[in-house]
């Protein structure tokens, strides 16, 4: 049987079909695997960037809140008097769920007032946040609770109580240090940010999120045994998603994104997202298995067809051979079936043609499936590109007012500085701050406060040139960059904005005013930080002088 024409013909066509199907299956599987890994890697990178961006924004907003409260005129009036401070601190804690403790110490480091009365009278002069905040705002890295460990409830999950420290100096009207305002932010804030952006689908697919500090230590890991262990340095420092081996010996699709905060308080955190290799490439494995099963079925069908065709081809040939044998045995009158021989050739040609058509049809089906898969991959890639573009837009726009955010302002300021250094083109910046905005939030609610910010943003943008840049860089603080504008023109434009806000009557909203601090490149300042500091100092001078006014950097005004 194994030496028969029928068996050899069937085996030959079966092997040919298997080789073709195997080659197509390998090529298609490899393409699907690379595409699936790339798509999943982009999804993990997007998740890491989103978490890092939200953590950056959260740190900046909280630091800014502490700085503004410490520099407000209300604070200068109450000094460090406990009875005056405690209602302010309690109200601040009620509106910010992640502020575990807020306190005020005097200049010697003795806590004078605190939320819940915790640590009042304690000496905190040895604490890093007190020492650093005596000379300026301070943002501390994550650390375990010390004095408050036994006074506050422990977090869920059995982990130790950990804080992020925010602190700012308190000065009297004469500029003397009278104390330090400190906030211990609960590290549970990081877990809430990650939970907000990580869906149930992510967790079901084994996606885990880690946060690593500047020294490579894990300061946040998922609960459960799979979250234990360190993060390999090559993962934390990589750019883009890649398959890496972790310290448990397993391979994971990993992506990382830095948490970029205020340059004055850079902590060096990195968000690392990982997914087990098997789960990340599960879609590719399923597609590969489907292709192999379809190819195997095609080979079996081809072999069955070949067996049937070989049977019909060999029968007339056997008849011709028997006739030849009879003739050789002496039966001279035995005729050779000539007609039969011609019919066999026709049958053989038709069988071969049918087999060829079958193989071509199978190949066309595989190519059609390949095109369909390529179309799906292209559509998903386009969807991811649109999603990335939308994320990029959101990362550059303030979600409330629609203005540019701090990132856009920094880029525009860098461009203006470059033009000033190369060509001497002047430029001015104005920091616009809504006066008594905290009172609006406290008395009318945050919803009204948000509407006030939107209205003020529209007034500022409406009274600026098309070439000017308006950005929201803080809670109620806006930056206006005026290119090709010297100090005199900047003062006129800033006064125009101030008058527009002061004279505006906003329907169903309280009347507000703004204070404006102005700084110009023509004053000789060619450094972004120095220019922003000069404008910030001018803004505080306007606040001290009674608000609702414009002050240029270098000008001095007596308090109203």
Looking up tokens 């994320």, which residue turns up?
391
Cα–Cα distance for residue pair 324/89, rounded to 1 Å: 114
Q: Which CATH class is domain 198-280?
A: alpha beta
The torsion region of residue 389 among left (phi > 0), alpha (psi -120 to 50) and beta comes to alpha
Per-residue tokens: 90: 């309690």
Phi and psi torsions of 525, nearest 5°: -80, 120
Q: Which residues contact 375 (CB under 8 A, 6 or more apart)?
A: none
Cα–Cα distance for residue pair 433/513, rounded to 1 Å: 9
Q: What is the pLDDT of residue 359?
A: 41
Residue 373: how many other CB atoms lie within 10 Å: 16
DSSP, res 516: E
**Positive or negative torsion for Cα 550, 556, 559, 560:** negative
Looking up tokens 């104390």, which residue turns up?
179
The stretches of 478-556 forming alpha helices (DSSP H) are 487-503, 528-544
The torsion region of residue 150 among left (phi > 0), alpha (psi -120 to 50) and beta comes to alpha
Q: What is the tens place of the pLDDT at every residue in 252-273? A: 888 888 888 777 777 888 889 8
DSSP 30-52: HHHHHHHHHHHHHHHHHHHHHHH
Superfamily of domain 406-552 in the CATH hierarchy: Reverse transcriptase/Diguanylate cyclase domain (3.30.70.270)
Looking up tokens 């939107």, which residue turns up?
454
Helical packing angle, 406-423 and 528-544, nearest 10° = 110
Per-residue tokens: 77: 């009036």
Q: What is the pLDDT of residue 435?
A: 94
Superfamily of domain 72-190 in the CATH hierarchy: PAS domain (3.30.450.20)
Query: What Rg, from alpha-carbon coordinates, does the chain have?
Result: 37
Q: What is the pLDDT of residue 24?
A: 76
Cα–Cα distance for residue pair 537/543, rounded to 1 Å: 10
Whether the model pTM is above 0.95: no
Q: What is the pLDDT of residue 392?
A: 63
Q: Let me know the angle formed at the C-alpha of 555 by 551 and 560, rounded to the nearest 5 degrees.
A: 65
For residues 480 and 457, the answer to whether their CB atoms sit within 8 Å is no
Cα–Cα distance for residue pair 20/8, rounded to 1 Å: 18
Residue 304: how many other CB atoms lie within 10 Å: 12
Q: Which residues of the chain have pLDDT under 70?
A: 1-6, 9, 74-82, 156-158, 224-230, 236, 283-284, 286-287, 303, 306-320, 327-328, 330-364, 381, 383, 385, 387-394, 522-526, 555-560
Query: Strand ranges (DSSP E) for 360-413?
Result: none
Cα–Cα distance for residue pair 362/24, rounded to 1 Å: 11
CB-based burial label for 422 (10 Å; 0-12, 13-18, 19+)? exposed
**Positive or negative torsion for Cα 224, 225, 230, 236:** negative
For the chain, give every domain's residue range. 5-34+283-396, 72-190, 198-280, 406-552
Do domains 72-190 and 198-280 share one topology? The answer is: yes
Q: What is the pLDDT of residue 388?
A: 61
Q: What is the pLDDT of residue 534?
A: 92
Cα–Cα distance for residue pair 272/258, rounded to 1 Å: 9
Per-residue tokens: 189: 């804030």
Cα–Cα distance for residue pair 198/274, rounded to 1 Å: 12
């Amino acid at each position: 049987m194994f030496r028969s024409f029928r068996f050899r013909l069937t085996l030959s066509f079966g092997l040919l079909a298997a080789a073709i199907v195997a080659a197509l299956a390998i090529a298609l599987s490899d393409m699907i695997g690379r595409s699936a890994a790339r798509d999943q890697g982009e999804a993990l990178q997007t998740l890491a960037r989103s978490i890092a961006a939200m953590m950056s924004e959260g740190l900046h907003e909280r630091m800014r809140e502490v700085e503004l409260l410490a520099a407000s005129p209300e604070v200068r009036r109450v000094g460090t008097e406990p009875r005056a401070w405690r209602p302010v601190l309690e109200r601040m804690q009620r509106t910010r769920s992640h502020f575990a403790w807020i306190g005020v110490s005097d200049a010697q480091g003795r806590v004078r007032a605190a939320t819940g009365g915790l640590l009042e009278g304690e000496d905190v002069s040895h604490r890093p946040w007190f020492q650093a905040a005596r000379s300026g705002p301070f943002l501390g890295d994550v650390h375990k609770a010390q004095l408050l460990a036994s006074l506050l409830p422990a977090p869920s999950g059995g982990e130790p109580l950990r804080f992020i420290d925010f602190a700012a100096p308190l000065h009297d009207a004469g500029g003397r240090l009278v104390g330090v305002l400190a906030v211990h932010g609960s590290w549970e804030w990081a877990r809430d940010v990650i939970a907000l952006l990580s869906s149930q689908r992510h967790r079901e697919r084994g996606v885990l999120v880690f946060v690593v500090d500047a020294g490579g230590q894990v300061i946040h890991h998922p609960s459960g045994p799979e979250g234990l262990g360190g993060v390999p340095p090559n993962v934390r420092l990589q750019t883009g998603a890649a398959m890496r081996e972790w310290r448990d010996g397993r391979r994971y699709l990993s992506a990382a994104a830095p948490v970029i905060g205020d340059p004055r308080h850079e902590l060096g955190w990195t968000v690392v997202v990982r997914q087990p290799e098997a789960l990340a490439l599960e879609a590719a494995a399923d597609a590969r298995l489907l292709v192999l099963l379809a190819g195997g079925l095609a080979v079996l069908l081809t072999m069955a067809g070949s067996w049937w065709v070989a049977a019909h081809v060999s029968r007339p040939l056997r008849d011709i051979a028997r006739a030849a044998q009879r003739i050789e045995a002496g039966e001279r009158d035995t005729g050779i079936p000539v007609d039969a021989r011609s019919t066999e050739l026709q049958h053989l040609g038709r069988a071969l043609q049918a087999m060829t058509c079958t193989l071509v049809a199978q190949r066309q089906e595989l190519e059609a499936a390949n095109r369909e898969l390529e179309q799906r991959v292209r559509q998903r890639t386009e969807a991811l590109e649109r999603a990335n573009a939308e994320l990029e837009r959101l990362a550059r726009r303030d979600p409330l007012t629609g203005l540019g955010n701090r990132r856009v302002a920094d880029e525009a300021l860098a461009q203006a500085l470059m033009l000033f250094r190369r060509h001497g083109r002047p430029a001015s910046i104005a920091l616009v701050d809504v006066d008594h905005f905290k009172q609006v939030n406290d008395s009318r609610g945050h919803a009204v406060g948000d509407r006030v910010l939107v209205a003020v943003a529209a007034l500022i943008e409406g009274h600026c040139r098309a070439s000017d840049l308006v950005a929201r860089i803080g809670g109620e603080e806006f930056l206006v960059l005026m290119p090709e504008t010297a100090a005199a023109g900047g003062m006129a434009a800033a006064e125009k904005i101030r008058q527009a806000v002061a004279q505006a009557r906003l329907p169903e909203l309280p009347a507000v005013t703004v204070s404006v601090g102005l700084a110009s490149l023509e004053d000789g300042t060619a450094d972004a930080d120095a220019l922003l500091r000069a404008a910030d100092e001018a803004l505080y001078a306007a606040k001290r002088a009674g608000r609702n006014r414009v002050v240029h950097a270098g000008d001095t005004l007596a308090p109203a």
